Homo-oligomer: A and B are copies of this chain.
Amino acid sequence: MNQSDRDQRATTGDPVRRATMRDVAALSGVSIKTVSRVINGVSTVSDDLRDRVTRAITQLDFQPNLAASSLRRTDGATRQIALLLEDVANPFSATLSRAVENVAREHDTLVFAGSLDEEPQRELELVRAATLHRVDGIIIVPAAPDHGYLHREIRTGTPVVFVDRPPRGLAADAVLATNTEGAREAVLHLADHGHTEIAFLGDESSITTVGERLTGFRRALAERGLPERPDRVALDLPDPGTAARAVAAMLDSAHPPTALFTAQNLVTIGAIQTLQARGLHHDVAVVGFDDFPMADLLAPRVTVVAQDVMRIGTLAVQRLFERITGDDGAPREERVPTTLIARGSGEIPPPAG
Contact = CB atoms under 8 A, between A and B. Distances in A.
B325 A8 contact: yes
A77 B9 CA distance: 10
A113 B82 CA distance: 10
B115 A113 contact: no
A156 B294 contact: no
B16 A156 contact: yes
A68 B93 CA distance: 31
A82 to B, nearest CB: 8
Contact of A155 (B13, B71, B75, B128): B13
Contacts of A155: 13-16
B133 A80 contact: yes
A325 B5 contact: yes
Sorting the interface of chain A by its residue count into under 10, 10 to 19, 20 to 34 or 35 or more gives 35 or more
A97 B89 contact: yes
Interface in A104-130: 107-108, 110-115, 128-130
Given A15-B155, A112-B112, A78 B67 contact: yes
Nearest to A272: B297
A157 B5 contact: no
17 contacts: A5-B325, A5-B326, A9-B324, A18-B156, A65-B132, A67-B78, A67-B133, A71-B71, A90-B94, A91-B293, A101-B114, A101-B115, A110-B133, A276-B297, A293-B294, A298-B298, A299-B299
